[in-house]
Amino acid sequence: MFLENTIKNTSRSGWIEVICGSMFSGKTEELIRRLKRAEFARLKVEIFKPRVDNRYSEEEVVSHDENSIRSTVVDTAQNILLLSGDVDVVGIDEAQFFDKGLVDVCNTLAEKGLRVIVAGLDMDFRGKPFGPIPQLLAIAEYVTKVHAICVRCGSLANYSHRTSEEDSLVVLGEQDNYEPLCRRCFIT
């Protein structure tokens, strides 16, 4: 006789982790730290970044503190599914630059049993939700919001204020184009 409760579930369960915050808050640093720990644990890790982000390196994910880890550059979120292959952990940096399909990609990977770690800006320079990050925050099992320090008053900063006059949504830059601000300094 077949009994339902005698069947063991041998498939592993995956999950999604999101690391978000403003520019200069340590998102990529935290992503690299988690991925290197996974590698130390002898897990198979693959890291992806969008082709548009070539500020520090074409082939590596690099933090502002110059820590780095090898990565695979992709044009679309769908490419992540095609290239993730036989891995245990998938890391995705600068997730705000990916298309909305990233949400489905992350769900598919987690449903296959992978640990998915995503890092990205949660707000654009106007203080509005950015790209696929809001949807990823909603479906993630784990969310870490990191903060920078406001360059004007020293409080915790969670806004990426653009200092240049450009008004397009995506303007790659660093301290030459952006500064971290707290809520009070951002709105005044």
The number of residues in the chain equals: 188
Distance CA(172)–CA(21), nearest Å, equals: 16
- HSE, side-chain direction, 13 A CA sphere, residue 49: 23
- What is the distance between the alpha carbons of residues 151 and 29, in angstroms, rounded to a whole number? 20
Question: Residue holding tokens 């790209």?
Answer: 131
Contact 125, 162 (CB under 8 A): yes
Q: Are 114 and 86 in contact (CB under 8 A)?
A: no
The token duo for 55 is 């500020």
Residues assigned a catalytic role:
94
Residue 178, φ and ψ in degrees, nearest 5: -140, 155
Q: First CA to last CA across the chain, in angstroms? A: 72
